[in-house]
Structure 1
Amino acid sequence: MFIRAYLRASTDEQNAARAKDSLTQFVNNHGQRIAAFYTENISGTQLERPELNRLLADTQPNDILLVEQIDRLTRLNDQDWKSLKRHIEDTGLRIVSLDVPTSWQALQTQTAQHDPIMSAVLDAINNMLIDLMAAMARKDYETRRARQQQGIAAAKQAGKYKGRQPDSERHQKVHRYREMGMSLKEVADATGYSRSQVCRILAKEIQA
């Protein structure tokens, strides 16, 4: 059994690796360790995600897909979530999420065979809760999206809309660390960006 942690944030300005320490501590508390981290900045509403696809390709039956919350795995619509979940199940992966305690049983190295009925009941409850959390994650996205659009419309009407602004202070750190001779990986680790994000930030200055 390998535990594969999936870390996701929606935009380049957010730190996708933020939950790395809490996931590591959680797994350590269960006497296990994380075999690999898969980190990306991409919307959870997108079914096709490079790092998630890489995780699915790397996995073996009975491996664990570990997330901080179900909304880090999905904000997909119902059809796309069913497709992703089916793919996860076909690979033999088991989802463990910190916000779904019934999923934690998958971290046990020995599956309880002395009470198969109770095990089946727990599996059914766990699947139901994961589906419920997935639906709530999508609903939360749609609600926030609608409110955002309302706010943008009001700001445009008032002549105050300027669009989403980049984190200039964090971008300056990227340039400063790079000028100090730090490698792309070191800059990424120091700022919380991925290496591809660091490259894009540096490229913007060259293009300017």
Structure 2
Amino acid sequence: MFIRAYLRASTDDQDANRARKTLQSFAADQGVRIAAFYIENASGTTVDRSELLRLLADASPGDVLLVESVDRLTRLPRPAWEQLRNQIAAVGLQVVALDLPITHAVLKPTGEDGIQEWMLKAISQMFLEFMATFARKDYDTRRERQIQGIEKAKSTGLYRGRQTDQEQRRRIQECLAKGFSVRKTADLLSCSTSTVSRFKREAAALMQSDDQLFIL
């Protein structure tokens, strides 16, 4: 059994690797080992996720797609979720989610006959469908409340938009100035490598702009 763990965080400022130890501990408790990790910062509301697509391309029938929770796999609207679900089924993957215990049975074959195994898979799929729907509902509710909150803040003159984390930027700058790599900086500050890389790009663009102004 080849277990492929998928870890996702929504934004660059979140640590997509956060759940790695949790998944490894779970696998050890089940007596299995994770053979490959696929980690990315991307929205669960789109199927255009490079690491998830790479996982699907790598997978073979009988492999397991392991996630911390169903919402790490999908927050997709219904048509997009059906598309992803069909892709998962087409390559023969079985989804195991830590927050959906009924799916854990996949990791411990019990020698059940064909009918019992079919029923277990059918029930697991039913609960997976429910959790996928709930994940999207939760996303829509959060978005609606966020929009309502912003509108209320605007009406009172309190809304200022998303503020840049100046302290994090300062610490990134210090680490890079000391010669630390992007990966080392991200590890030290518990942020994503894409956050550090974005800061480097912005800093380089600013320096280039300043140089051009000096020449002029």
**TM-score scaled by structure 2?**
0.89
Q: CA deviation at 1:192?
A: 3.6
Code of the aligned partner of 2:128? I
Q: Partners of 1:30 and 1:99 in 2: how far apart?
A: 15
Closer, same or farther in 2 for the Cα pair 1:163/1:173, shift >3 Å?
A: same
| Residue of structure 2 equivalent to 1:98 | 98
Identity percentage of aligned residues: 48
Give the unaligned 5+ runs of structure 1: none
Residues 84-122 of structure 1, C-alpha deviation per residue, up to 9 Å, x if partnerless? 0100111111111001111112223xx344432222221
**Number of aligned positions between the proteins:** 206
Q: CA deviation at 1:168?
A: 3.0
| Residue of structure 1 equivalent to 2:34 | 34
| Residue of structure 1 equivalent to 2:18 | 18
| Residue of structure 2 equivalent to 1:178 | 176
Equivalent residue of 2:43, what SS? coil
| Residue of structure 1 equivalent to 2:203 | 205
Code of the aligned partner of 2:153? A
Q: Partners of 2:89 and 2:187 in 1: how far apart?
A: 33
Equivalent residue of 1:193, what SS? coil
8 Å Cα contact 1:8/1:40 also seen in 2: yes
Residues 22-47 of structure 1, C-alpha deviation per residue, up to 9 Å, x if partnerless? 11100111111111211111111111
| Residue of structure 2 equivalent to 1:56 | 56
Q: Partners of 1:131 and 1:88 in 2: how far apart?
A: 13
Q: CA deviation at 1:186?
A: 1.9
Q: Partners of 2:61 and 2:149 in 1: how far apart?
A: 46
Give the unaligned 5+ runs of structure 2: 207-216
